[in-house]
């Protein structure tokens, strides 16, 4: 280590402290104030600058540095810690009568005195206790058994919504209770990445949150996008509780994010009105709630009411009824993915559930299918896990047909009849034939998809014919097709054939990131492909990168690095890249169109909310960037437009509050100069 690394100058220290304060300010604006001023890209640039300074001058790095959110070395395990005050559970109610009975017990416990209540959303996440000393986060623990929990401090440090240092004015010693959760869109993005990488999708936000907090690698935790809301304080030390409303205001004042959707109610009737209103609106939130929490507001009254051995007497949870539908299981289809994984899929009679029509649901793997003992003809119960992914819960025994038979576990690939084998350390059964038509078709569909090579006209029907007729065995063969050959396919006219061949030819100019994603390298989704392309700039440079160097790239860990290295060390894959080069594919990373000052959206910031008809969320974000704009995740005064689709929620409300122009998808296309 050189002397400059040990002793930064005063100017460097001032630069570092200013940068650190700026990042902390933006964290507060984003997570507490909900009024971000900069894009995610600009935030990441500030973070990179901070990390570079700390790498050059290690003495600058402290435990409350924003860089600690990146994640350090993997953990060996979790220690068990004693909670300063027990994290008691909350009793549940399920209907109006039980809520009224709770109110009667409270009034009786107060000798007839009337209470006021604060009604909060019941987050479907994981309860966490945070300990701050001298304003700095020193410990985070899970609820555990209520008396003891797991010390997950290293994992919690990487959650950007949780401040590592509180604002000035916070008590010197503070214990905060709150909920770690995951937004639906973050789970969707994570599952899309996992499916791209050939891994099983996660089922719902809560289980994913719980599993993430127990990971031994904080770097992986940092990538999951967990969020946090604080909802209470532990009395003692320098904290004197007066009312719950004041507690929530103090938490927010000290820099902790508090869910804004709480209501002060003076009667049990207004409490029930609030519960009914949020039961109807819960799908607008973008994250999961499974009910409401009703708390006595007055701290004095809470003390008088006290607690049982398990639960406080001054709080109750009202659980929303689960949205479950019944339908008939009409078939179980086995799909073969691009990695060869055989996945059973339930095909059901159409049923309406959580606002959409559900006809199919993945059964994940044959171990789960066997455990649930699902059979064709069964009447089954279905729910949307986390309101996102359709999930078959169980069959109804009394409705089972006499001739219903278990689905057999495949002993051969259902498509090519080739050998199958169960993963040694996993649950998947895979087809071992890399030339299996189903795998080839899946890989080609992935290669031609919008996020990869974006070959217009090369859909599943065309790919099926090309593979079945022996015209294409892999992606390189696409670039050897001529219009005459393509025109011989069913329902393919001469003009359509020419257009398809032209689209294939145009895809040769796609940047390196698209090619890398299209190759289907295990664990390399579109985001990782962009990281690699930005780092190396060319396929040739990437193919030479040692695994140690790959592992050193921000957001790329040892598993991903090893997978990349293994891919390029495989002779068939190196041969495929050589074929691409000979066929004229670019395989370099071109500068994005947004960076040259051109484009009708240049300098404009957009936020997209709701469900769109023509675009997926990733597609419209790409479109915005291609036309020179910025795609942001939250609405602020600096937002130029909000693009609102169906079922737009809180972001639309925020735009209206701030006077930000709201446009439809059609108006967005007019602004873009005419669609895709």
Mean pLDDT of the chain: 87
Alpha-carbon distance of 441 to 336, in angstroms, equals 10
Evaluate if pTM is beyond 0.85: no
Which pLDDT belongs to residue 196? 66
> Tell me, what CATH number does 162's domain have?
3.30.470.30
Q: Which of the following is catalytic: 20, 122, 338, 625?
A: 122
Please check whether residue 588 lies inside any domain of the structure.
no
Examine the domain organization and report whether 252 and 393 are in the same domain: no
Q: Does a structural domain hold residue 427? A: no
Q: In this structure, are strands 641-644 and 662-663 parallel, antiparallel, or unpaired? A: parallel
Q: What is the pLDDT of residues 621-671, one digit of tens each?
A: 877 877 778 777 778 888 899 998 877 777 888 888 888 999 988 888 888
- Tens digit of each residue's pLDDT (9 = 90 or more) over 487-510: 999 988 899 999 999 999 999 999
Average pLDDT over residues 138-153: 90
CA 266 remoteness from chain centre: 38
The last residue of a domain, from among 583, 603, 637? 583
pLDDT at 73: 59
**CA-based R_g, the chain, Å:** 28
- Least Cα distance to 514 among 597, 592, 438, 462 occurs for 592
Neighbouring residues of 126: CB distance < 8 A, sequence distance ≥ 6: 142, 143, 179, 180, 181, 206, 209, 210, 213
Give the CATH number for residue 657.
3.40.50.10190
Residues of the domain holding 143? 82-319
Q: Is residue 75 part of a domain?
A: no
Residue 262 lies in a domain: yes
- Measure the CA–CA gap between 537 and 530, rounded to whole angstroms: 10
Q: How many CA atoms lie within 13 A of 600 on its CB side?
A: 9
Provide the pLDDT for residue 675: 43
Question: Which of 479, 483, 525 is CA-nearest to residue 505?
Answer: 479
What are φ and ψ of residue 15, in 5° steps? -60, -45
Which range of 490-499, 523-532, 576-585 scores highest in mean pLDDT? It is: 576-585
pLDDT-based confidence at residue 280 (cuts at 50, 70, 90): confident
Phi, psi of 54 (to 5 degrees): -70, -35
- My answer on whether 382 and 294 are in the same domain is no
pLDDT at 591: 39
Residue with more model confidence, 356 or 492 = 492
Task: Report percent pLDDT > 90 for the chain.
Answer: 51
Is the pLDDT reported for residue 398 higher than 80?
A: yes
Which pLDDT band, with edges at 50, 70 and 90, does 385 fall under? low
Do 436 and 430 form a contact (C-beta atoms < 8 A)?
Answer: no
Mean pLDDT calculated for residue range 325-335: 94
Give the model's confidence band at 676: pLDDT under 50 very low, under 70 low, under 90 confident, else very high: very low
Active site (annotated) includes residue 371:
no
Confidence of residue 594 (pLDDT cuts 50, 70, 90): very low
CATH number of the CATH domain containing 550: 1.10.150.20
Confidence of residue 595 (pLDDT cuts 50, 70, 90): very low
115 and 255 fall within a common domain: yes
Instruction: Tell whether the model's pLDDT for residue 298 goes beyond 90.
Output: yes
Shared domain check, 628 and 521? no
Write the Ramachandran bin of 535: left for phi over 0, alpha for psi from -120 to 50, otherwise beta: alpha
Q: Which of 260, 291, 319 is the last residue of a domain?
A: 319
More confident residue, 649 or 429: 429
Same domain, 535 and 399: no
Sign of CA dihedral 196, 198, 201, 207: negative
pLDDT, residue 655, reads 87
What pLDDT band is residue 523 in, cutting at 50, 70 and 90? confident
Is there a contact between 655 and 632 (Cβ–Cβ < 8 Å)? no
- Structural domain contains residue 73: no
Q: What is the pLDDT of residue 284?
A: 83
Question: pLDDT tens, 446-490?
Answer: 999 988 999 999 999 999 999 999 999 999 999 999 999 999 999
Q: Where are the alpha helices (DSSP H) in 173-315?
A: 184-196, 205-213, 218-223, 244-253, 268-281, 299-305
Domain assignment of residue 91, yes or no: yes
**Is pLDDT at 441 greater than 90 in this prediction?**
yes
Beta strands in 490-640 (DSSP E): 605-609, 630-632
Q: Worst-scoring range by mean pLDDT, 77-81, 274-278, 559-563?
A: 77-81
Q: Does the pLDDT at position 72 exceed 60? A: no
Q: What is the CATH number of the domain that holds 375?
A: 2.40.50.140
In a domain, 429, yes or no: no
Number of domains in the chain: 5
Same domain assignment for residues 315 and 331:
no
Q: Is the pLDDT of residue 50 over 70?
A: yes
d(CA 562, CA 587): 21
Query: What local confidence, expressed as pLDDT, does residue 197 receive?
Result: 65
What pLDDT score was predicted for residue 140? 95
Structural domain contains residue 431: no
Residues 106 and 122 in one domain: yes
Q: For residues 216 and 176, state if they share a domain.
A: yes
What average pLDDT score do residues 232-239 get? 80
In the predicted model, is pLDDT for residue 174 greater than 70?
yes
**C-alpha span between 517 and 412 (Å, rounded):** 29
DSSP assignment of 345-385, as one string?
EEEEEEEEETTEEEEEEE--SHHHHHHHT-BTT-EEEEEEE
pLDDT tens-digit profile of 176-192? 999 999 998 889 888 88
pLDDT tops 70 at residue 41: no
What is the pLDDT averaged over residues 393-406? 93
Domain termination residue (choose one: 422, 445, 471): 422
Both 543 and 641 in one domain: the answer is no
- Give mean pLDDT, residues 426-440: 88
202 and 164, same structural domain?
yes
- Tens-place pLDDT, residues 12-34: 988 999 898 888 888 888 777 76
Same domain as 504, residue 465: yes
The predicted structure's pLDDT at residue 554: 63
Are 458 and 575 in a shared domain?
A: yes
Instruction: Tell me the average pLDDT across 249-265.
Output: 95
Does the structure show a pLDDT above 50 at 614? yes
């Amino acid at each position: 280590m050189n002397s400059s690394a040990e002793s930064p100058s005063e100017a460097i220290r001032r630069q570092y402290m200013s940068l650190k304060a700026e990042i902390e300010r933006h964290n507060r604006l984003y997570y507490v104030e909900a009024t971000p001023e900069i894009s995610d890209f600009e935030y990441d640039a500030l973070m990179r600058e901070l990390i570079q300074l700390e790498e050059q001058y290690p003495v600058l790095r402290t435990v409350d540095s924003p860089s600690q959110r990146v994640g350090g070395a993997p953990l060996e395990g979790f220690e068990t810690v004693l909670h300063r005050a027990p994290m008691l559970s909350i009793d549940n109610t399920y209907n109006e009568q039980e809520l009224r009975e709770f109110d009667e017990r409270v009034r009786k416990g107060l000798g007839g005195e009337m209470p006021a209540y604060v009604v909060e959303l019941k987050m479907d996440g994981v309860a966490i206790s945070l300990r701050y000393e001298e304003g700095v986060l020193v410990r985070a623990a899970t609820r555990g058994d209520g008396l003891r929990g797991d010390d997950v401090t290293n994992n919690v440090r990487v959650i950007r919504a949780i401040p590592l240092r509180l604002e000035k004015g916070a008590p010197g010693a503070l214990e905060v209770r709150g909920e770690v959760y995951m937004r639906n869109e973050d789970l969707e993005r994570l599952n899309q990445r996992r499916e791209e990488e050939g891994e099983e999708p996660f089922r719902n936000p809560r289980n994913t949150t719980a599993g993430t907090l127990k990971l031994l690698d904080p770097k992986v935790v940092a990538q999951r996008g967990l969020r946090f809301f604080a909802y209470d304080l532990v009395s003692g030390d320098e904290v004197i509780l007066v009312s719950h409303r004041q507690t929530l205001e103090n938490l927010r004042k000290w820099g902790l994010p508090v869910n804004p959707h709480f209501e002060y109610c003076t009667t049990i009737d207004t409490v029930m009105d609030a519960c009914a209103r949020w039961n109807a609106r819960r799908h607008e939130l973008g994250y999961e709630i499974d009910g409401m929490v009703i708390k006595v507001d007055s701290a004095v009254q809470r003390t008088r009411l006290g607690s049982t051995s398990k639960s406080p007497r001054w709080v109750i949870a009202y659980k929303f009824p689960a949205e479950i539908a019944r339908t008939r299981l009409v078939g179980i289809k086995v799909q073969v993915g691009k990695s060869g994984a055989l996945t059973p899929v339930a095909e059901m009679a159409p049923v309406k559930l959580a606002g959409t029509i559900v006809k199919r649901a993945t059964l994940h793997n044959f171990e789960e299918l066997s455990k649930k003992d699902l059979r064709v003809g069964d009447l089954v119960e279905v729910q949307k896990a986390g309101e996102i992914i359709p999930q078959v819960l169980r069959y109804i025994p009394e409705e089972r047909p006499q001739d219903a038979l278990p689905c057999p576990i495949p002993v051969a690939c259902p498509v090519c009849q080739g050998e199958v084998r169960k993963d040694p350390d996993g649950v998947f059964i895979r087809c071992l034939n890399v030339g299996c038509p189903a795998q080839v078709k899946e890989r080609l569909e992935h290669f031609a998809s919008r996020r990869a090579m974006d070959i217009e006209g090369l859909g599943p029907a065309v790919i099926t014919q090309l593979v079945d007729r022996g015209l294409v065995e892999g992606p390189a063969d696409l670039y050897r097709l001529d219009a005459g050959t393509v025109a011989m396919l069913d329902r393919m006219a001469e003009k359509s054939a020419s257009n398809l061949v032209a689209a294939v030819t145009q895809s040769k100019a796609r940047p390196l990131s698209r090619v890398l994603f299209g190759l289907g390298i295990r664990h390399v989704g579109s985001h990782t492909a962009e990281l690699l392309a930005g780092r190396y700039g060319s396929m040739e440079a990437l193919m030479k990168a040692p695994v140690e160097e790959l592992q050193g790239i921000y957001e790329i860990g040892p598993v991903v690095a090893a997978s990349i290295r293994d891919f390029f060390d495989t002779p068939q894959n190196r041969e495929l890249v050589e074929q691409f080069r000979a066929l004229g594919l670019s395989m370099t990373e071109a500068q994005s169109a947004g960076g040259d000052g051109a484009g009708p959206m240049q300098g404009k910031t957009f936020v997209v909310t709701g469900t769109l008809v023509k675009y997926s969320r990733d597609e419209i974000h790409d479109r915005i960037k291609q036309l020179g704009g910025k795609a942001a995740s939250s609405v602020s005064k600096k937002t130029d437009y909000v693009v609102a689709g169906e079922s737009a929620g809180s972001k639309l409300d925020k735009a209206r509050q701030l006077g930000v122009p709201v446009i439809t998808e059609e108006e967005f296309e007019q602004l873009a100069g005419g669609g895709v």
